[in-house]
Amino acid sequence: MRNVTKVGFLSLFILSLLSLLYVDKGEELFVVASEDLTSEINESLPLDEKLNLVLEDERLDGAITGVSVRKADTGEEIYSNNGDIRLHPASNMKLLTAAAALDTLGSNYQFSTEVYTDGQVVGEVLQGNLYIKGKGDPSLLKADLDQFASVLKDKGITKLHGNLIADDTWYDDVRLSQDLNWSDEPFHTGAQVSALTLSPDHDYDAGTVIVEVMPGKGEKAKVKVTPETDYVTIVNQSKMVAKGEAKTISIEREHGTNNIIVEGNMPTDGSNSKSWAAVWEPTGYVLDVFQKSLEQNGITFAGNGKAETGKVPDDATLLVQKESMPLKDLLIPFLKLSNNGHGEVLTKEMGMVVEGEGSWDAGLDVMKNVIANLGVNEETILLRDGSGMSHKNYIPASELTSLLYAAQQKDWYADFEYALPVAGVSERMVGGTLRNRMTEEPTRGNVMAKTGSLNGVNTLSGYVTSADGEKLIFSVLNNNYIKGSMTPVQDAIATILASHEFE
């Protein structure tokens, strides 16, 4: 290891205590570190020497770290450490997906959900089938289904003499990306993708329900599901225990079913446990909740009608439709909260719009072409999904900074930049996954970057302005590490860039 005592860096590897781990729903797991790896770096050193000192941290031993720094005005790469080595981007993959979606679909692109019939209204009876067709909207809520039902009620309909049919054929029927681990698919991070899906709240984790476990008055804890649905079955194996005992509640959906297993102890004075559980086959989930919305508005089946999946006939009549928020607004929960489902929906939507096929293969083909046009060398990347959950995505740090440089020239760039997490800003939909990192000057409100985290992978790529006003683009890709957290290393690099003065 290099001797750095001459520049006052003797204490670089003396680790301070780390603050507690926290897990925030919809986001990566981070360690917020109290240590400052830049505190004793001589400010007069050239930029490359400062960065090299940080990269000598012992936690990087045996790991691979790719770093690239460019000037934002010219694209000149002013620093590289393994910048040309292909590495896993984790959720930095979302930068590629967002840029490709903006370039392909446009900032104001909207998804739609439509309700049709192949019959007609006679008196208060709809004589025919009622269809709900999804076109990928990941922001569809129970309130939207209630609104559909209210419109039908206003048309005087109280009975459905036919079937209630869900149409998800806008995309293919492949629900999970090819490299998703079984350990991820019961949770919101690995939710299934359908053209007809539903989100339980305004984080828009499509294809999930919220399961909340709270102290109960009997032998078991009380369990609440949002939205209310019979599509999932709660298997409550919890146990109420005395005040002051440890809470050990776990919530997990059983693979291949919609049985959600609640286990463990809940003290009488315990805090609520809350989890977002992915459902198996989201189309049926929407169908169940929509049927409940109809019933709540006084619309019921007449005869032997049933709820099932199918396809809207070409000659069906449109009754009501809902347009989603524009893409530029959807990018905020996508990038700031690192919403995996949005990445996969956008991938399939690009495939449908450009190639007429709502599949991962078609969407990834579109993405690769778009980012190649944005200056990324397509010969050195491998794309396997739109979220970054795959451990088979590969891109060098220098190619990521190249993409971020080219993005600045596009008319959609302002929307892209606005959706990035902002360091140290506590408001959730501003700071996002960086709200508890780099909370002091000169990084607070200055670093705008996408985080990423998988087992053995931690990444950070984005923009920062130096002390003398030079806007910089950076990418830090930490791969194959097993010693501690990489966030202090990444934050140190961003802090050096924010505090550096160029001659």
Distance CA 277, CA 233 (A): 12
Distance CA 90, CA 389 (A): 6
* 316 closest CA partner among 163, 213, 441, 171: 163
Residue of 50, 68, 80, 91 marked active site: 91
pLDDT band at 173 (very low <50, low <70, confident <90, very high): very high
Please give the pLDDT value at position 351. 98
> Which structure tokens are listed for 373?
């046009």
Please give the pLDDT value at position 393. 98
Coil vs helix vs strand at 238: strand
Yes or no: say if 238 and 221 are a contact pair by the CB < 8 Å rule.
Answer: yes
> Which structure tokens are listed for 205?
């984790």
pLDDT at 54 over 90: yes
CATH dotted code for 5-108+328-499: 3.40.710.10
Over residues 320-377, the pLDDT tens digits come to 999 999 999 999 999 999 999 999 999 999 999 999 999 999 999 999 999 999 999 9
Q: Is 338 a catalytic residue?
A: yes
Spatial neighbors of 176 by CB under 8 A, at least 6 apart, are 185, 190, 192, 193
Whether the bond into 267 is cis, omega within 30 of 0: no
pLDDT at 222 over 70: yes
Please give the pLDDT value at position 154. 96
Provide the residue ranges of all domains of the chain, joining segments of one domain with +: 5-108+328-499, 112-173+282-325, 208-278
Whether the bond into 227 is cis, omega within 30 of 0: yes
Query: Which string of b and e fits 180-195 if b means at least 16 CB within 10 Å?
Result: beeebbbbbbbbbbbb
Q: Report residue 466 CA to chain centroid gap.
A: 29
Superfamily assignment of 112-173+282-325 in CATH?
D-Ala-D-Ala carboxypeptidase C, peptidase S13 (3.50.80.20)
Q: Report residue 115 CA to chain centroid gap.
A: 28
Distance CA 319, CA 163 (A): 16
pLDDT at 2 over 70: no
Q: Is 94 a catalytic residue?
A: yes
Over residues 264-277, the pLDDT tens digits come to 999 999 999 999 99
Residue of 50, 68, 80, 94 marked active site: 94
Q: Is 382 left (phi over 0), alpha (psi -120 to 50) or beta?
A: beta
Mean pLDDT of 148-159: 97
Distance CA 330, CA 321 (A): 19
Three-state helix/strand/coil letters over 392-437: CCEECHHHHHHHHHHHCCCCCHHHHHHCCCECCCCCHHHHHHHCCC
Q: CA torsion sign, 351 to 352 to 356 to 361?
A: positive
Yes or no: say if 448 and 421 are a contact pair by the CB < 8 Å rule.
Answer: yes
Please give the pLDDT value at position 25. 55
Q: Which amino acid is at 17?
A: L
Q: Is 410 a catalytic residue?
A: no
Spatial neighbors of 165 by CB under 8 A, at least 6 apart, are 129, 130, 131, 132, 307, 308, 309, 310, 311, 312
Q: Across all residues in the chain, what is the average pLDDT? A: 92
Q: Please name the helix (run of DSSP H) or strand (run of DSSP E) that holds residue 309, with its range, or none.
A: strand 307-309
> Which structure tokens are listed for 212?
């909340």
Residue of 338, 390, 461, 499 marked active site: 338
* 85 closest CA partner among 399, 383, 462, 452: 399
* 261 closest CA partner among 186, 199, 355: 186
Percentage, residues of the chain above pLDDT 90: 89
pLDDT band at 209 (very low <50, low <70, confident <90, very high): very high
pLDDT at 32 over 70: no
Coil vs helix vs strand at 29: coil
Strands (E), 170-253: 208-214, 222-226, 233-241, 250-253
Residue found by looking up tokens 């709809």 in the block: 126
Over residues 291-313, the pLDDT tens digits come to 999 999 999 998 889 999 999 99
Coil vs helix vs strand at 235: strand
Say how many residues make up the chain. 503
Distance CA 340, CA 34 (A): 29
Please give the pLDDT value at position 297. 97
DSSP classification of residue 15: P
